[in-house]
Amino acid sequence: MCDQTFVAATFGPCDSCANPSPLMNIYIKNEPINYCSFCVEMMACRELQRGETLASLKRESDTLKKKLEEERGKLNDVELHQVAEKVDTLGALSLKTKRVLKGHGNKVLCMDWCKDKRRLVSSSQDGKVILWDAFTLNKEHAVSLPCTWVLACAYAPSGCAVACGGLDNKCCVIPLSLDKNENLAAKKKSVAMHTNYVSGCSFVNTDMQILTSSGDGTCALWDVESGQLLQSFHGHTADVLSLDFIPSETGNIFISGGCDKKANVWDMRSGQNIQSFENHVSDVNCVKFHPSGDAFASASDDATCRFYDLRADREVAVYQKDSIIFGASSLDFSLSGRLLFTGYNDYTINVWDVLKGSRVSVLFGHENRISRVRVSPDGTALCSASWDSTLRIWA
C-alpha cells in the first residue's frame, strides 16, 4: 500500500479536540487520523522552528523554485531545431484514409491497438466498448457498460483482456474470448476505484498490474488479480487527464498530465514525483513518451504541443502555428520518433517533424474533434478516434 500522506473529507468528532466539525481524514503511513482544520493547522505549526511561519516557508519555497528555474535557464543554450539544422528535411508525407470504422452511437472517446497489430478497442459516450478487426472492419465483441462516457480503454499486453473506465469512477478488466457470442459483460471485473472519474488506464508490461489516472487528482497502480492498491501518486492539484508508461520492459517511470497545466514524471517504486514541467498555459490533455524513453511530448488546450528531454530536465521544442487556434487533444509518435501526430479540436490531425519543429502534413476527414490518435505497434498505420462517432485508419 501507499506510504503517502493524503486527505479526504467527512463530518464528525475531531480526534484531537472532540468538537463535531468537517474533518480531514489524514492518512500518514496508512494510519488514519480524523482532525478538524484548526487541529490540522496546529499540528503543522508544531513542526515549525522558532521564528518560522507558514508564510515564510512558502516564500522560501518560491525562492528555491525561482533559483531552480534560473539554473535550468543556464543550461538552455540551444534549441532542438538548431541542433537539427544539418539533418535532411522530410519529403512530402501522403497519408490517406484506408478504413472507416462505424458502430458507435455517440462520441468515440478513446482507442488502443492490440500488440498483434490487427485488433483494436474503442470506448464511447454511448457506454459501449467495441473490439474491432482493423483488416476486415468486423466487430469481434461489443460490451455494454452500466455507465455512459467510457473515457478510457486499453489492451492488455497479451491481447487476452481489455481495461476500461469512465464516469463510474471504476476501472474494469474484461477477459476476452474466442466465442463471439459469449457475454463478456458478465465476466468483467472491477480492479480499481477512484473518488472521481477515471480518465486513463494503461497496463504495466504485464496483464497483472494496471495504472489509472483520475479526476480526483491522483494516479494509482493496482494489482489486477486482487484489486489491491499497490501505490498511489499524489502531486497534481487538479484533474489528471492522461498518463503513459515508459516504453521499456525494465522501466519504472511513467508520466501524467492534467488540468493544473503540469506534466509530471513519477517513480513507480517510491511513488515520488521526480520531475515536473509547467510550460503550458492551459490543461494538458495528453502525454506520450518518445520511443527512446528519454523524452516525451504533451498536448494542451493552449493549441501547442511541447517536447521535453528528461535528461536535460527541460523543454526543448514547441510545435505550434499562428493558424492553429484550437486545443490539441491527443498525440503519438511514429515508430522512429521522427514524426509527431497530433489531433486537434478543429477536426484535423497535424503531422510534425520532431527535429525540425515544422508541420509536414495535415490530415482531413473527421467531422468533429479528434479524441485520440495512436500509431499501430508496427508503425505502418495510424488510427484516430473522433467525436463524430467513427474511427479512421490512415496509411
How confident is the model at residue 40, as a pLDDT?
75
Question: Which three cell numbers, joined as nine digits, stand for 115?
Answer: 500488440
How confident is the model at residue 70, as a pLDDT?
81
> Which of 33-37, 40-44, 201-205 is predicted least confidently?
40-44
**How large is the average pLDDT for residues 288-312?**
96
| Within a domain: 2 | yes
How confident is the model at residue 52, as a pLDDT?
65
Cell 494496471 belongs to residue: 210
Q: Are 338 and 354 in contact (CB under 8 A)?
A: yes
Q: What percent of the chain has pLDDT over 70?
A: 92
| Within a domain: 27 | yes
Q: Are 188 and 174 in contact (CB under 8 A)?
A: yes
CA distance 234 to 283: 18
Residue 48 has pLDDT above 50, yes or no: yes
CA distance 350 to 329: 11
| Within a domain: 12 | yes
Going by the DSSP 8-state scheme, the letter that residue 187 receives in this structure is G
| Within a domain: 179 | no
**How large is the average pLDDT for residues 212-217?**
96
Residue 388 has pLDDT above 50, yes or no: yes
Q: Are 196 and 239 in contact (CB under 8 A)?
A: yes
* Confidence class for position 10, pLDDT limits 50, 70, 90: low
β-pairing, 328-333 vs 339-344, is: antiparallel
Q: Could you tell me which residue, 13 or 181, shows the higher pLDDT?
A: 13
CA distance 215 to 237: 10
How confident is the model at residue 249, as a pLDDT?
83
Residue 32 has pLDDT above 90, yes or no: no
The residue segments making up the domain with residue 32 are: 1-46
CA distances from 117 to 109, 114, 137, 161, 205 (A): 20, 6, 14, 15, 17
How confident is the model at residue 5, as a pLDDT?
40
* Confidence class for position 1, pLDDT limits 50, 70, 90: very low
Question: Which three cell numbers, joined as nine digits, stand for 315?
Answer: 523543454
DSSP-derived secondary structure for 214-261: ETTSEEEEEETTT--EEEEEE--SS-EEEEEE-S-SS--EEEEEETTS
Q: Are 204 and 224 in contact (CB under 8 A)?
A: no
pTM of this structure: 0.83
CA distance 68 to 91: 40
Strand partners, 17: none
313-358 pLDDT, tens digit each: 989 999 999 999 999 999 999 999 999 999 999 999 999 999 999 9
How confident is the model at residue 185, as a pLDDT?
82
| Within a domain: 6 | yes
How confident is the model at residue 33, as a pLDDT?
77
How confident is the model at residue 9, as a pLDDT?
46
Number of domains in the chain: 1
| Within a domain: 37 | yes
Residue 88 backbone phi and psi in degrees, to 5: -60, 140
224-246 pLDDT, tens digit each: 999 999 999 999 999 999 999 99
| Within a domain: 100 | no
Residue 177 has pLDDT above 90, yes or no: no
Q: Are 333 and 339 in contact (CB under 8 A)?
A: yes
Residue 2 has pLDDT above 50, yes or no: no
The type of residue at 50 is R
> Whose CA is closest to 373, among 385, 361, 359?
385
* Side-chain-side CA neighbours of residue 8 (13 Å): 12
* Confidence class for position 85, pLDDT limits 50, 70, 90: confident
How confident is the model at residue 34, as a pLDDT?
79
| Within a domain: 40 | yes
How confident is the model at residue 92, as a pLDDT?
80
Residue 313 backbone phi and psi in degrees, to 5: 60, 45
Question: Which three cell numbers, joined as nine digits, stand for 195?
Answer: 473518488
How confident is the model at residue 44, as a pLDDT?
66
Q: Are 214 and 233 in contact (CB under 8 A)?
A: no
Helix (H, G, I), strand (E, B) or coil at 389: coil
